[in-house]
C-alpha cells in the first residue's frame, strides 16, 4: 500500500512554516494518540503516520529531499520514531506541556550539535579548488573523564528515582502518561562526583583548526559536510557534523553565472571603427581577442571553454566578453579639430554611416507626430 503524501497527512500546504507544521502535527497527534484511543489500531496507525510525516518535514534536509524525490528520497524505514520505536521523542517534545512531560525518556548519551561555518572564497579558488585552513570554536569530548562527566575512577549511576529509565509514570484523570524524571531530567543517570575539568558535562570548549578541501567548481550556497567535526556529544555521545557553507566573493574583473564567466572590456572608438586585436585575461592565462571593424558597443564575444567546470559535473563553460566603446576625454586642440573635420565629412556622406542613430531619430519623429492634435 503506497504511503500518503506527508503534507496531506498533516493537512498543511507545501510551503508551510515550521510553526504551522508543529501546530498541525499537534492537532493530528492529539486526535489519534493511543492513550485517547485505547485498543484502536486505526488511530495508532494514523498517529504513527503523523509522527513520521512531522519527523521528515520538520528537518530541513529531509524535507528538501522529500520535496524533490518523494518518499524514495527519505526512506523513512531507516528513521527511528516513525513507527519503529513507539511514540518517540517528537511527541514528548511537543506535548510535554500538556501531559506533564515527554513521551519518551532522553538518553544519557546524546549526539553533539551540528555546526555551520561560512567560508569566504576568492573566485579563482572556487573555480580551481583549494585547501583552506579554518579555525572554529567548538566543544570536544573531555579527556579527563573520557566524556562521561564523572570524576576519574567513578562512573555515572542509575537514577534512584526512575531506575535509569529517565521517566516516571503518572495518572492524570483517564490518562496514563509518562513524565520526565524530575531528578535526572530524563537522562536516566546521575553523577555523584562530577569531573573537575568539565563539571559533569562531558565536554569542554576549545578552538580547533581544520583543513577543508574545496573541490573545483563550487559556487555560493554549496555546502561541504565534515562528519564528526561539530560539537562533542554529551556523556560520551557521538559528535555532530560541521557544515561549511561556500560564499564566493565578488571579483574585480569577472562575474560568474553558473558555468559561464562574464567581463567588460573597454575599447577605444578607433579600435571599434577600424578593428584591432586585444589581449584579454582569463582565469588561467591571457588570450588574443580579435575586434572586427565597425564593432558596436555592447557586442558580446564568446571564448569557448574559458569558463567554469561545475562541481557536479558537465562541460566547461565559456567566457563572454562585452566590449564597451569608451569616449576619449581631455582632448587636445588638434584632436578636436580632427574630430570636427571627421564629423563634417561624415555629415556630407549622409546618414548611412550611423544607421542606429538615424533609425532612432526616425522613431522619435514618428512618436512625436502621433502626439500632435
Residue 95 is assigned to a structural domain of this protein: yes
Residues 271 and 305 placed together within one structural domain of the fold: yes
Residues 293 and 355 placed together within one structural domain of the fold: no
Residue 38 is assigned to a structural domain of this protein: yes
The CATH number of whichever domain residue 281 belongs to comes to 2.60.260.20
The CATH number of whichever domain residue 75 belongs to comes to 1.10.287.110
Residues 297 and 366 placed together within one structural domain of the fold: no
Cell readout for 311 is 562541481
**Per-residue model confidence (pLDDT) at position 252:** 92
User: Domain boundary at 44, 75, 99, which?
Assistant: 99
User: In b/e form, how buried is each residue of 189-200, taking b as 16+ CB within 10 angstroms?
Assistant: bbbeebbebbeb
**Per-residue model confidence (pLDDT) at position 104:** 41
Residues 262 and 321 placed together within one structural domain of the fold: yes
Residues 25 and 79 placed together within one structural domain of the fold: yes
Residues 301 and 356 placed together within one structural domain of the fold: no
- CA 163 to CA 128: how far, in whole Å? 58
Cβ contact 103:48 at 8 Å: no
Residues 312 and 354 placed together within one structural domain of the fold: no
Cell readout for 287 is 588570450
**Per-residue model confidence (pLDDT) at position 235:** 61
Which residues, 6 or more positions from 343, have their beta carbon under 8 angstroms from its beta carbon? none
Residue 295 is assigned to a structural domain of this protein: yes
Residue 169 is assigned to a structural domain of this protein: no
Query: Which alpha helices (DSSP H) does the chain contain, by range?
Result: 6-10, 18-32, 41-57, 60-69, 88-99, 123-128, 269-274, 333-348, 355-371
**Per-residue model confidence (pLDDT) at position 332:** 95
- CA 136 to CA 114: how far, in whole Å? 13
Q: Enumerate residue ranges in the chain where pLDDT < 70.
A: 1-2, 35, 75-109, 170-176, 234-236, 350-355, 357-358, 360-361, 364, 372-373
Q: Would you tell me how many other CB atoms lie within 10 Å of the CB of residue 148?
A: 23
Residues 14 and 76 placed together within one structural domain of the fold: yes
Domain count, the chain: 3
Residue 216 is assigned to a structural domain of this protein: no
Residues 297 and 314 placed together within one structural domain of the fold: yes
Residues 10 and 79 placed together within one structural domain of the fold: yes
Residue 277 is assigned to a structural domain of this protein: yes
Residues 94 and 11 placed together within one structural domain of the fold: yes
User: Domain boundary at 99, 125, 149, which?
Assistant: 99
User: Domain boundary at 84, 99, 114, which?
Assistant: 99
Which neighbouring-strand residues pair with 264? 322
**Per-residue model confidence (pLDDT) at position 243:** 93
Residues 281 and 341 placed together within one structural domain of the fold: no
Residues spanned by the domain of 23: 6-99
Residue 65 is assigned to a structural domain of this protein: yes
**Per-residue model confidence (pLDDT) at position 81:** 35
Residue 280 is assigned to a structural domain of this protein: yes
- CA 2 to CA 361: how far, in whole Å? 67
Cα 239 to Cα 50, 90, 123, 206, 236: the distances in Å are 29, 21, 32, 14, 9
Amino acid at each position: 500500500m503506497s504511503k500518503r503524501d506527508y503534507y496531506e497527512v498533516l493537512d498543511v500546504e507545501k510551503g508551510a512554516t515550521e510553526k504551522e507544521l508543529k501546530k498541525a502535527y499537534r492537532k493530528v497527534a492529539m486526535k489519534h494518540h493511543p492513550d485517547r484511543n485505547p485498543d484502536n489500531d486505526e488511530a495508532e496507525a494514523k498517529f504513527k503516520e503523523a509522527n513520521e510525516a512531522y519527523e521528515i518535514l520538520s528537518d530541513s534536509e529531509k524535507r528538501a529531499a522529500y520535496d524533490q524525490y518523494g518518499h524514495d528520497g527519505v526512506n523513512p524505514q531507516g528513521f527511528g520514531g516513525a513507527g519503529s520505536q513507539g511514540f518517540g521523542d517528537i511527541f514528548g517534545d511537543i506535548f510535554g506541556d500538556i501531559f506533564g512531560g515527554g513521551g519518551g525518556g532522553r538518553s544519557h548519551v546524546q549526539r553533539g550539535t551540528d555546526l555551520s561555518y561560512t567560508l569566504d572564497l576568492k573566485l579563482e579558488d572556487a573555480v580551481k579548488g583549494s585547501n583552506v585552513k579554518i579555525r572554529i570554536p567548538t566543544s570536544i569530548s573531555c579527556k579527563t573523564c573520557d566524556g562521561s562527566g564523572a570524576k576519574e575512577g567513578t562512573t555515572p549511576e542509575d537514577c534512584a528515582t526512575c531506575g535509569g529509565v529517565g521517566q516516571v509514570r503518572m495518572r492524570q484523570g483517564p490518562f496514563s502518561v509518562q513524565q520526565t524524571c524530575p531528578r535526572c531530567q530524563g537522562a536516566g543517570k546521575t553523577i555523584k562526583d562530577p569531573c573537575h575539568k568539565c563539571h559533569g558535562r562531558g565536554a569542554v570548549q576549545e578552538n580547533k583548526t581544520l583543513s577543508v578541501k574545496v573541490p573545483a567548481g563550487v559556487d555560493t550556497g554549496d555546502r561541504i559536510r565534515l562528519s564528526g567535526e561539530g560539537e562533542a556529544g554529551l556523556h560520551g555521545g557521538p559528535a555532530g557534523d560541521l557544515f561549511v557553507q561556500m560564499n564566493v566573493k565578488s571579483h574585480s574583473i569577472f562575474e560568474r553565472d553558473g558555468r559561464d564567466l562574464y567581463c567588460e572590456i573597454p575599447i577605444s572608438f578607433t579600435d571599434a571603427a577600424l578593428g584591432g586585436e586585444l589581449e584579454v585575461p582569463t582565469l588561467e592565462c591571457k588570450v588574443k581577442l580579435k575586434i572586427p571593424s565597425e564593432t558596436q558597443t555592447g557586442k558580446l564575444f564568446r571564448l569557448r571553454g574559458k569558463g567554469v567546470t561545475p562541481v557536479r559535473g558537465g562541460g566547461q563553460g565559456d567566457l563572454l566578453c562585452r566590449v564597451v566603446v569608451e569616449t576619449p576625454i581631455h582632448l587636445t586642440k588638434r584632436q578636436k579639430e580632427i574630430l570636427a573635420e571627421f564629423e563634417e565629412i561624415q555629415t556630407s556622406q549622409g546618414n548611412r554611416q550611423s544607421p542606429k542613430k538615424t533609425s532612432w531619430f526616425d522613431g522619435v519623429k514618428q512618436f512625436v507626430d502621433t502626439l500632435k492634435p
